[in-house]
Amino acid sequence: MISCTENPFGGEKKIADRTISGHVKLDKVDFYPKGYHSGVLVWSEDLGLRATTDIDGSFELTLPASSESSSGAIIDGDYTIQFFLGNYKVSSVTVTFAAGQVVNDEKVINLEGELRRDVSLTRLAGVHTDVYPPVISSGFDSDIITKVQVTPDKTDIYFHLRKVVTRTSSIYTGLLIREVDSKKLAYTVDIDSATIMKEYMDRPSKTLEFIFNYTDVNLPEGIYEVIPYLVLDREDVPQTILNILSSGYDSFSQSYFEYPFYRTGGKLVVE
């Protein structure tokens, strides 16, 4: 949807807001519509603008109007736009402004503010969740087994996760069950004695198994997503990006939903 400002020359015509727009392509994800490229944080500290990619990977940053000198018409110079997901490498592009306008660059951007190439994000680790059984019928009173397959794309991948370590075994826990339509937390699967630990992820993949009894949960009818609490251990994310994430994004709570992260699977249907 394009919003408009009044035409300074009078008449009925409107002037469309100026934007920077483009598409993000995630590594190891099929092109839309087979694959989804939503949820990528798009952020420019210098411009003070942020957006999130849509399902097809598209995004749009609305620039301040040229006349808005008080609210910061854009000063001449180079501006960096960063692209972030919790389990992908940070990517960035640099655009140049002169006289408040985008400067055409044959490799980067055109005069309309459209990036000439897709922004590619390289995956660091894939996360896929399977829930057994995937459909819960009335009267079900057994265990639900959730298997999370982590596929590292490099050798030194560690995740922070919740677990209980005893003398003889390790028990994984820390699942957030989210109602799909409302995107709200419906239930938390956890063990009181669990703590957050850092764990190495073996290549080619490592499977984490979570078991909980459904009678403790007893969800209303609906469609849910079972989300494992996983935070990639990394030092390469600029502090400016971490600063704009919601407070508590890396905590085991509903705030974790604000952590941009690409995962697949996890569907649970309650009939």
| Paired strand residues for 231 | 160
Distance of alpha carbon 81 from alpha carbon 46, whole angstroms? 8
- In this predicted structure, what is the pLDDT of residue 11? 47
Long-range contacts of 163-167 (CB under 8 A, 24+ apart): 163/194, 163/195, 163/197, 163/199, 164/191, 164/193, 164/194, 164/195, 165/197
Residue 156 shares a structural domain with residue 229: yes
Distance of alpha carbon 146 from alpha carbon 209, whole angstroms? 6
Residue 155 pLDDT level (bands cut at 50, 70, 90): very high
Residue 50 shares a structural domain with residue 113: yes
Residue 85 shares a structural domain with residue 58: yes
Residue 166 shares a structural domain with residue 48: no
Residue 60 shares a structural domain with residue 183: no
Whether the pLDDT of residue 14 is over 60: the answer is: no
What is the pairing mode between strands 267-270 and 135-136? parallel
More confident residue, 128 or 64: 128
**Which domain, by its residues, includes 48?**
4-121
Looking at residue 25, which CATH number applies to its domain? 2.60.40.1120
Burial class (CB in 10 A: 0-12, 13-18, 19+), 33: exposed
Asked which of 68, 98, 121 is the last residue of a domain, the reply is: 121
For the residues 179-190, what does the mean pLDDT come to? 98
Looking at residue 204, which CATH number applies to its domain? 2.60.40
Residue 208 shares a structural domain with residue 139: yes
Residue 100 shares a structural domain with residue 165: no
Residue 88 shares a structural domain with residue 109: yes
- In this predicted structure, what is the pLDDT of residue 198? 98
Residue 112 pLDDT level (bands cut at 50, 70, 90): very high
Distance of alpha carbon 88 from alpha carbon 153, whole angstroms? 10
Question: How large a percentage of the chain has pLDDT more than 70?
Answer: 92
Distance of alpha carbon 217 from alpha carbon 186, whole angstroms? 9
Residue 155 shares a structural domain with residue 180: yes
Distance of alpha carbon 139 from alpha carbon 214, whole angstroms? 10
Residue 131 shares a structural domain with residue 203: yes
Residue 264 pLDDT level (bands cut at 50, 70, 90): very high
Whether the pLDDT of residue 190 is over 50: the answer is: yes
Mean pLDDT, the chain, integer: 92
| Verdict on whether the full-model pTM lies above 0.75 | yes
Asked which of 121, 142, 176 is the last residue of a domain, the reply is: 121
Asked which of 121, 155, 189 is the last residue of a domain, the reply is: 121
Q: Quote the number of domains for the chain.
A: 2
Per-residue pLDDT tens over the stretch 38-80: 999 999 999 999 999 999 999 999 998 765 544 557 899 999 9
**14: enclosing H helix or E strand:** strand 14-16
Per-residue pLDDT tens over the stretch 197-219: 999 999 999 999 999 999 999 89
Residue 48 shares a structural domain with residue 140: no
Whether the pLDDT of residue 2 is over 60: the answer is: no
- In this predicted structure, what is the pLDDT of residue 50? 97
Residue 105 shares a structural domain with residue 149: no
Whether the pLDDT of residue 191 is over 90: the answer is: yes
